[in-house]
Each structure stands twice: as C-alpha cells, then as structure tokens.
Amino acid sequence: MQPYTRAEMAAKAAADIPEGWVVNLGIGIPTMIADHVPLEREVIFQSENGVLGMGPAPEKGREDPWLINAGKQMVTLRPGGSFCHHADSFSMIRGGHIDLCVLGGFEVAENGDLANWATSENDTAPAVGGAMDLGAGAKRLWVVMEHTTKDGRPKIVERCGYPLTALGNVSRVYTNLAVLDVVQGLGFVVRDIAPGLSLEELQAKSAAKLHTRA
C-alpha cells in the first residue's frame, strides 16, 4: 500500500481547482496547494490578512517582510493583486465571495460537519483564527488531512466528537489514503483510493460508511 504524501495530497486538490476560482487556503497542507496550481491557470488566492492575488513564494534574496500570508510566511503578489483591511477581507469570506476554502481537519463527519479548532470543551485556550468564518462563508469547503490520527484513530466519522468549526459545509476530503465526496443525505462517497489499498481496508480505517459510485 502506497499512501499519498503531503505533496501528493496537495497536488490532488490543486488539480481539481478550475481557472477563475477565488480560493482561500488554510494553514498546513492546504497552503501547499498553491504550489501545485500552474501560474498560467489563473486561480486567485486570497489570504485572510487582506491579500488578494497571492503569487508563489519569493525567490531567495527577494523576500518582503511586509507581504505575508495567513500562516505568517512571506509570499508575493501577482500582477492584478490587491490589499485590503481585515473587515473587507472577511467581507469577501463571510459575504460568499470565495469560491473555495481548503482547511485542515481533526474530524470530518458524514453530514459535512468539520471539527478543526479545539480538542475538547476544556481545551486550554484553543485558537480559532478565521476557520469559523471560512467554514460558514465560503461557497465550497474542502478538507485536506491524514485519514487517521497518529495512533490510528479514524478522522472520517459519523458525527464529530470534537467541538465543531462548521456545520454541514464540507463537500470533499483529501486524505493520505483517499479522496471522498460528502454528499448531503448520503454521506461519504469514494472518488479515489491510494494505490494498493482495497475498499475494505479503507473502510476499516474509517468510522463512517463509505459509499461507492453506482
């Protein structure tokens, strides 16, 4: 069995983003997605700190500390890019102007719920950032995450056990083992399985029923 690497997970998600979409990428593997979208396919990347039209990472020696992304890494601005303040940036997000948001996740449930900000109700000072705004406001919400926790517990579940970030909005999940659609009223539908892995093996690593396309 050959699980997908983080870069392969990012590349798979990137391949599914069409030209013209405005896309917000969360911290972690989602940030890597931008590296896999060729510049000639014009996708506009938005960063919650008021950057619209982010380009690739700067070349060595050309970094600009005034130009960062949500993960506080230095980035570049493409021709056509622009800056705005935080309330305008989140108006783009909350006002339904973002075609796609891709976030990391602790758990995704078969009803499309996402948990990705706190590990218990008594979490010491959880950090939510912009995840709840993105989860509620983007037109589409995809999640990129490992299929199970480090100790093998499924992150694909019937209902989230961790505190929720967004309710019912996740429509696709990219993991190191599979790509799943979340279909309202049905649940998880398998789009793709990592090489050498059977559907039964994938099901065994998931805590919700996996459906296949008819």
Contacts to other proteins by CB under 8 A = 47-51, 64-68, 72, 74, 77, 83-87, 89-90, 93-94, 118, 121, 124-133, 136-137, 163-167
- State which residue, 1 or 128, has the beta carbon closest to other proteins: 128
Beta strand pairing status for 44-47 and 51-55?
Answer: antiparallel
Find the catalytic residue in 8, 48, 63, 200.
Answer: 48
Phi, psi of 202 (to 5 degrees): -65, -45
* Closer Cβ to other proteins, 154 or 163, answer by number: 163
Shortest spacing between CB 77 and other proteins, in angstroms: 8
Tell me whether residue 201 is one of the annotated catalytic residues.
Answer: no
Max distance between CA atoms of the chain, in angstroms, equals 53
Cβ-based neighbours of 13, under 8 Å, separated by 6 or more = 30, 33, 36, 102, 142, 144, 174
Which C-beta is closer to other proteins: that of 20 or that of 96?
A: 96
Nearest distance in Å: CB 114, other proteins = 10
CB of 169 closer than 8 Å to CB of 135: yes
Residues 6+ apart with CB under 8 A from 53: 44, 45, 77, 78, 80, 81, 82
Closest separation in Å from C-beta 106 to other proteins: 14
For CA atoms 145, 173, 121, 47, give the dihedral sign. Answer: positive
Q: Rounded to the nearest whole angstrom, what is the least distance from the CB of residue 5 to other proteins in the complex?
A: 24
Q: 């083992």: which residue's tokens?
A: 177
**Closer residue to other proteins, CB minimum distance, 140 or 211:** 140
Active site residues: 48
